[in-house]
Chain A
């Protein structure tokens, strides 16, 4: 066995192969030292073997944590995943002794909530599964395991409630996971992209979350959860657009306040996408849309600006996008300084220098703030993009162009299907009793 393993692996120092004997028995051991926890190894193998209170061959056969290995072809796979290979009396066993470096019981940081659960999923799959099982304790929870990535050999876990999940969605997801062809899979976003047919889609078709309550709620609603080793985010699918607009906290807090916040988010969505485009369309094409006083004050604030409205919009958008991007990439301590410098000082100075109008400063900041209101990061990224086509339409066609652009996005959303399910559709509670449209089978 040892010779074969030495042939299979490249000459690396951390592949350890030992042949040891305690007088009555010869044991061959192979493992990758950097992947396993050697304490475990001593406790489980070397110490019992050398003391031999009980014949070691019997220990191996009776202890269920030693699994027999039949097929020599999977040796390398096992070793790469942190198993120790053993050869005892002509039969082979493996023992799991992996040491996984991970963040310990992390706090939610991307989707924070005030009174909701503060613990997030872990970067280790077994910990995540543990957390989910603890919160969703039914025997119906089914777990399936896959391995993806030719080089990274990333473990993927798919969880669902077998009574509630839609079998059509399940078979689709299984087929998608099996069909993934990639060398390295390193983040959940990458996995989500691979699960999707259309890589150029505008809106996220799945929900990526770190929140445990979202996951367990999703399981109860018949969603499928896909998680991968090494990332503390889970994918929930299929989803509707409205799932992306709901924060988990909406369920925990006062009903009326939640309704208010939800409608606030939709207003923010509308504002952040249309505001710059509307500014161009109204200032350059139809100033008579607003009441006279308002139209005058907009025109007055633009009096010092020497170029057309769209140049002004592009200057400000360029600045704000750079600011957002810079504050994401910078270390936390410098980030706040950058925003202060950029936001306060530059904005003020640009307006006083007559480069942009003061109304434009308001438009830009409202747009940026509204964007942060959207609770799911992937959606807020999509929304950050879709204002640009609207701006182009506003430049060439004015107000009807903006309206048509918005209508286009609505058609586009209605046309999307998230894993075979409608993405942008109102589901009313009364629907459950009746048969739905389109449930016709023509053979």
Chain B
């Protein structure tokens, strides 16, 4: 299970490199984003450590089952839809954001819903699968995608076009006080651990997570790359000018001898895989939360033919997000994202706190 946890963690960290996190951070680059990075690193690592050690006390149980153990039924019934919405919103939002981006860059002559139709339907198919299937899929996807993303990051760092002076200049703003929105954005990099809320169900009884130093190490690497690479490529003030700053950053690199000269295409397809994977895990967990509202629901970790309920729930997810897509555009997206990143941070922190308290109580004989 070890590796599956880290796949999920790295997936979320890498995905956020593309979406709203860099935009929020770069907006605040002159007033506290740098110090927020440090704060986010500490908070994110702490939350990840706390949640993983708390969840390891409950092998084979997901968050719904743990809530049921300790809270009254009516509270569970109100909390689960909130969680379901949280996961659904995060993943649909990412998917919609990516659809708009891909549409803008790759197929500008087609309407965005055309692209969303196929991406969304694929996610419905993926999200209805069993937890084990999704973990196998996660492994394959991450093994294919992660090395290439790291390669591109490495290529970016080694690029002669990178202006280290700009990076040093921005880094000197470290003495500004951190802001809430940048901390919220920064901690989103670390948020891969929340996927364990449902995937903890597949953990075998004697499971212990090893190698947790990977969490701060990868987090730091990706956080720094997210923030500083665009600055290095576009300059201290120039970064503001782009809507999708990372697409432009990737487009600043070239592969001189490749079939495909512009790195941005490779980058886009890697991130297509990541966004699909993220939406699939998100929808799947949201679906499990919704189905768990009923007390009689018995979850299964593996099935080869998806139950009809799965299709109904995921189908309505698709319909909802499709309607959302028609109303959203980049400007509204960005404003929602900023609020969302903060709200999400507090919700997650509260959940982790609850898990910690509960796991302490579990240790004592009841």
Chain A contacts to B: CB under 8 angstroms? 285-286, 289-292, 294, 393, 397-401, 403-404, 407-408, 410-411, 414-417, 422, 424-426, 428, 434-440, 442
Q: Are B129 and A424 closer than 8 Å at their CB atoms?
A: no
Q: Are B204 and A397 closer than 8 Å at their CB atoms?
A: no
Contact of A400 (CB < 8 Å), options: B59, B130, B272: B272
For A415, list chain B residues within 8 Å (CB). 129-130, 133, 304
Q: Are A290 and B102 closer than 8 Å at their CB atoms?
A: no
Q: Are B276 and A437 closer than 8 Å at their CB atoms?
A: no
- B224 beta carbon closer than 8 Å to chain A: no
One of B35-43, B177-185, B259-267 at the interface: B259-267
Q: Are B269 and A440 closer than 8 Å at their CB atoms?
A: no
Q: Are B204 and A440 closer than 8 Å at their CB atoms?
A: yes
A134: min CB distance to chain B, Å:
38
For A435, list chain B residues within 8 Å (CB). 204-207
Q: Bound state CA distance, A408 and B299, in angstroms? A: 25
Q: Are A440 and B106 closer than 8 Å at their CB atoms?
A: no
Chain B contacts to A: CB under 8 angstroms? 1-4, 59-60, 102, 106-107, 110, 114-115, 118-119, 122, 125-126, 129-137, 139-141, 143, 201-207, 258-261, 265, 269, 272-273, 276, 280, 298-299, 301-302, 304
Q: Bound state CA distance, A411 and B121, in angstroms? A: 13
Contact of B260 (CB < 8 Å), options: A285, A291, A425: A291
Contact of A404 (CB < 8 Å), options: B118, B143, B298, B301: B118
For B301, list chain A residues within 8 Å (CB). 438, 440
For B115, list chain A residues within 8 Å (CB). 397, 400
Q: Are B136 and A414 closer than 8 Å at their CB atoms?
A: yes
14 A-B pairs within 8 Å (CB atoms) are namely A289-B260, A291-B258, A294-B259, A399-B269, A404-B118, A407-B276, A410-B141, A417-B302, A428-B3, A435-B204, A437-B1, A437-B132, A439-B204, A440-B205
Contact of A437 (CB < 8 Å), options: B4, B119, B298, B304: B4
Q: Are B60 and A426 closer than 8 Å at their CB atoms?
A: no
Q: Bound state CA distance, A416 and B302, in angstroms? A: 11
Contact of A407 (CB < 8 Å), options: B3, B135, B203, B273: B273
Minimal Cβ-Cβ distance residue in A for B139: A426
Closest 5 CB pairs of A and B: A435-B204, A291-B261, A440-B60, A414-B136, A414-B137
Q: Bound state CA distance, A30 and B201, in angstroms? A: 65
**New A-B contacts (7) at CB < 8 Å, excluding given A289-B260, A414-B137:** A286-B106, A400-B106, A410-B141, A417-B302, A426-B139, A428-B3, A438-B301
Minimal Cβ-Cβ distance residue in B for A423: B136
A205: min CB distance to chain B, Å:
11
A16: min CB distance to chain B, Å:
52
Q: Are B133 and A414 closer than 8 Å at their CB atoms?
A: yes
Q: Bound state CA distance, A85 and B65, in angstroms? A: 67
Q: Is the interface of B mostly helix, strand, loop or mixed?
A: helix
Q: Bound state CA distance, A442 and B201, in angstroms? A: 10
Q: Are B201 and A440 closer than 8 Å at their CB atoms?
A: yes
Known A286-B106, A416-B304, A439-B204: A408·B1 in contact at CB below 8 Å: no
Q: Are B140 and A422 closer than 8 Å at their CB atoms?
A: no
B77: min CB distance to chain A, Å:
21
For A411, list chain B residues within 8 Å (CB). 122, 125-126, 129, 133, 137, 280
Contact of A440 (CB < 8 Å), options: B202, B273, B276: B202
For B280, list chain A residues within 8 Å (CB). 411
A429: min CB distance to chain B, Å:
13
Q: Bound state CA distance, A440 and B58, in angstroms? A: 12
Q: Bound state CA distance, A428 and B136, in angstroms? A: 13
For A407, list chain B residues within 8 Å (CB). 122, 272-273, 276
Minimal Cβ-Cβ distance residue in A for B121: A404
For B304, list chain A residues within 8 Å (CB). 415-417
For A291, list chain B residues within 8 Å (CB). 258-261
Minimal Cβ-Cβ distance residue in A for B273: A407
For A410, list chain B residues within 8 Å (CB). 137, 140-141
Q: Are B302 and A400 closer than 8 Å at their CB atoms?
A: no
B8: min CB distance to chain A, Å:
12
For A400, list chain B residues within 8 Å (CB). 102, 106-107, 115, 118-119, 272
A418: min CB distance to chain B, Å:
10
Contact of A424 (CB < 8 Å), options: B2, B3, B4, B136: B136
For A417, list chain B residues within 8 Å (CB). 302, 304
For B206, list chain A residues within 8 Å (CB). 435
Q: Bound state CA distance, A47 and B265, in angstroms? A: 85
Contact of B118 (CB < 8 Å), options: A294, A397, A440: A397
Known A411-B126, A435-B204, A437-B203: A404·B119 in contact at CB below 8 Å: yes
Q: Are B122 and A404 closer than 8 Å at their CB atoms?
A: yes
Minimal Cβ-Cβ distance residue in B for A440: B60
Known A400-B102, A404-B118, A422-B136: A440·B203 in contact at CB below 8 Å: yes
